[in-house]
């Protein structure tokens, strides 16, 4: 089956092919590091992780760049209020972002690029745009003249022809119907950080960093560009204008946008104050895997409502998966092979990949796994699941976990490792055999205290971590 993605540019599901057939060149708008990133932001970053892993499962290599916006209006305001330089101020939140992303098991892009390390590249690009007559200067700031780029509006499917009269906007973020000339280079204001460049003393606007860094590392035409839907306009529209006005070539083949994480009908956002950071949620006792699972379980083009019930349901789903994994590892099944079970496993694997191939439909992919687990559990209970069926079931779980990555529990500091737990269980079994029941009980209590639950079955001891 072909891999298909919904392309915001064409508003269609399109078969995906990287330009060179092997390596996917992909750019992601990363965080603006003026605060802790919230789990709404992480919904978009988690979608990108599923995208990366799906592309690799299809045999593609990845060259993925993500920027970190470390100079912009909000950062400057916040760092001034904190009495810090923007470098000092942003470093703590960049670190926190990378730590949180690692806890959520988001693969690190091949390159993380910081805006402040690319000022010169941006200046050169703005000079190129000036030479091609796409810019003008006003009060020392440089603006992109959108009337000079007739395709403006193609990504957001907006016809701006009526209102591109040459008014301009100086701020980095603005409303949907504001098709105004946007700022590329901002003249220095008192107290603000600035760079002394041929464009004058100042700093870049927000939009120029992404098109410049994408083209610098990935070439004039890249395969995939991702972000949340709120970036379609103006940010990505402006990126296209900057890039294509410079090269005359298409900037991006496939534009993929993730829908928002919502809270009671509204977008989770810092400005509305209805947000949770990863830290907030971990403090309430949920695991990083539960948050990851929740964020990726709904297809990325559907809005997802955040609730704590949803997090609990995610925890339960992970428990089901892990319990099945434990059964496969620990139980002894009758000898032989059940052809029906073999067929079920093969069909589930096909359905799992087919779900992901169809614009990353994670809900369909998960349904395939859970239907299999239900059938296999029933077959195990009735003795119809045979020892020879284990490898196919294992392969299915492995394929699942290479994308969803939730089976292995995050080991908290001070927690027992799997090996330590199994060692203690062995000791307990020994103690029981030699009728040392007080030692056996003590081990059970010790494990329980550390969140490990034991279950004695006819096939031996099974254990799991309390979620």
The interface region with Zn ion, picked from 22-30, 406-414, 436-444, 449-457 by CB under 5 A, is: 22-30
* Shortest CB 235 distance to Zn ion, Å: 5
Interface residue with Zn ion among 29, 68, 314, 424 (CB under 5 A) is 29
Given the complex with ligand AMP, which of 65 and 231 has the nearer CB atom?
231
Show contacts with ligand AMP in window 244-263 (CB under 6 A). Answer: 258, 260-261
* Shortest CB 396 distance to ligand AMP, Å: 30
Binding mask 215-244 for ligand AMP (x = CB under 6 A): ------------xx-xx-------------
* Shortest CB 32 distance to ligand AMP, Å: 4
Say which entry of ligand AMP, Zn ion, none residue 44 contacts (CB below 5 to 8 A, set by partner kind). ligand AMP
Cβ(151)–Cβ(244) below 8 Å: yes
Interface residue with ligand AMP among 3, 5, 9, 32 (CB under 6 A) is 32
SS3 sequence of the chain? CCCEEEECCCCEEEECCCCCCCEEEEEECCCECCCCCEHHHHHHHHHHHHHHHHHHHCCCEEEEEEEEECCCHHHHHHHHHHCCCHHHHHHHHHHHHHHHHHHCCCCCCCEEEEHHHCHHHHHHHHHHHHHCCCEEEECCEEEECHHHCCCCCCCCCCCCHHHCCCCEECCCCCCCCCCCEEEEEEECCCCCCCEEECCEEEEECCHHHHHHHHHHHHCCCEEEEEEEHHHHHHHHHHHHHHHHHHHCCCCEEEEEEECCEEECCEECCCCCCCCCEHHHHHHCCCCHHHHHHHHHHCCCCCCEECCHHHHHHHHHHHHHHHHHHHHHHHCCCCCCCCHHHHHHHHHHHHHHHHHHHECCCHHHHHHHHHHHHHHHHHHHHCCCCCHHHHHHHHHHHHHHHHHHCCCCCCCCCCCCCHHHHHHHHHHHHHHHHCCCHHHHHHHHHHHHHCCEEEEEECCEEEEEECC
List the one residue out of 242, 287, 343, 280 whose CA is nearest residue 36.
280
Say which entry of Zn ion, ligand AMP, none residue 48 contacts (CB below 5 to 8 A, set by partner kind). none
Given the complex with ligand AMP, which of 43 and 344 has the nearer CB atom?
43
Say which entry of Zn ion, ligand AMP, none residue 269 contacts (CB below 5 to 8 A, set by partner kind). ligand AMP
* Shortest CB 384 distance to ligand AMP, Å: 44
Given the complex with ligand AMP, which of 298 and 368 has the nearer CB atom?
298
Q: Counting contacts by CB under 6 A, is residue 109 touching ligand AMP?
A: no
Say which entry of ligand AMP, Zn ion, none residue 210 contacts (CB below 5 to 8 A, set by partner kind). Zn ion
Distances (CA, A) of 169 to 164, 295, 325, 338, 453: 12, 35, 56, 68, 60
Interface residue with ligand AMP among 7, 36, 43, 278 (CB under 6 A) is 43
The interface region with Zn ion, picked from 21-29, 52-60, 149-157, 380-388 by CB under 5 A, is: 21-29
Binding mask 266-305 for ligand AMP (x = CB under 6 A): -xxx------------------------------------
List the one residue out of 155, 151, 153, 150 whose CA is nearest residue 9.
155
Given the complex with Zn ion, which of 207 and 353 has the nearer CB atom?
207
Binding mask 205-244 for Zn ion (x = CB under 5 A): -----x----------------------------------
The interface region with ligand AMP, picked from 38-46, 373-381, 386-394, 425-433 by CB under 6 A, is: 38-46
* Shortest CB 38 distance to ligand AMP, Å: 7
* Shortest CB 214 distance to Zn ion, Å: 8
Given the complex with ligand AMP, which of 146 and 268 has the nearer CB atom?
268
Size of the site for ligand AMP (CB under 6 A): 17
Cβ(327)–Cβ(374) below 8 Å: no
Residues that bind Zn ion (CB under 5 A): 29, 210
Residues that bind ligand AMP (CB under 6 A): 29, 31-32, 40-41, 43-44, 227-228, 230-231, 258, 260-261, 267-269
């Amino acid at each position: 089956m072909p891999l298909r993605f919904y392309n915001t540019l064409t508003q269609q599901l399109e078969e995906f092919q990287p330009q060179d057939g092997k390596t996917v060149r992909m750019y992601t708008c990363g965080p603006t590091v003026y605060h802790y990133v919230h789990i709404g932001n992480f919904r978009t970053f988690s979608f990108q992780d599923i995208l990366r892993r799906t592309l690799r499962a299809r045999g593609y290599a990845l060259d993925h760049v993500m920027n970190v916006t470390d100079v912009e209006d909000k950062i400057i305001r916040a760092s001034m209020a904190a009495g810090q330089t923007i470098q000092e101020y942003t470093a703590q939140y960049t670190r926190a972002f990378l730590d949180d992303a690692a806890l959520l098991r988001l693969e690190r892009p091949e390159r993380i690029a910081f805006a402040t390390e690319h000022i010169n590249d941006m200046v050169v690009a703005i000079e190129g745009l000036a030479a091609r007559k796409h810019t003008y200067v006003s009060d020392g700031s440089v603006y992109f003249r959108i009337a000079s780029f007739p395709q403006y509006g193609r990504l957001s499917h907006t016809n701006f022809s009526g209102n591109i009269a040459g008014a301009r906007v100086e701020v980095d973020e603005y409303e949907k119907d504001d098709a105004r000339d946007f700022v590329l280079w901002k003249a220095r204001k008192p107290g603000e950080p600035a760079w002394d460049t041929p464009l004058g003393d100042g700093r870049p606007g927000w939009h120029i960093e992404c098109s410049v860094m994408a083209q610098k590392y990935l070439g004039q035409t890249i395969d995939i560009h991702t972000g949340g839907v709120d970036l379609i306009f103006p940010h990505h529209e402006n990126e296209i204008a900057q890039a294509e006005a410079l090269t005359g070539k298409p900037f991006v083949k496939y534009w993929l946008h993730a829908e928002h994480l919502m809270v009671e009908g509204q977008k989770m956002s810092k400005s509305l104050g209805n947000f949770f950071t990863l830290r907030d949620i971990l403090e309430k006792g949920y695991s990083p895997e539960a948050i990851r699972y929740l964020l990726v379980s709904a297809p990325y083009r559907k809005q997802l409502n955040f609730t704590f019930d949803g997090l609990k349901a995610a925890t339960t789903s992970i428990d089901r998966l892990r319990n099945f994994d434990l059964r496969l590892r620990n139980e002894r099944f009758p000898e032989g092979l059940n052809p029906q079970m073999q067929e079920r496993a093969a069909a589930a694997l096909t359905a799992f990949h087919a779900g992901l191939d169809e614009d990353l439909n994670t809900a369909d992919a998960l349904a395939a796994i859970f239907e299999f687990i239900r059938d296999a559990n029933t077959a195990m209970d009735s003795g119809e699941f045979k020892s020879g069926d284990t490898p196919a079931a294992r392969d299915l779980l492995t394929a699942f976990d290479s994308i969803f990555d939730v089976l292995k529990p995050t080991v908290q500091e001070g927690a027992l490792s799997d090996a330590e737990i199994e060692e203690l269980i062995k000791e307990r079994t020994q103690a029981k055999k030699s009728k040392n029941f007080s030692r056996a009980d003590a081990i059970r209590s010790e494990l329980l205290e550390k969140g490990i639950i034991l279950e004695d079955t006819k096939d031996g001891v099974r254990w799991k971590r309390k979620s």
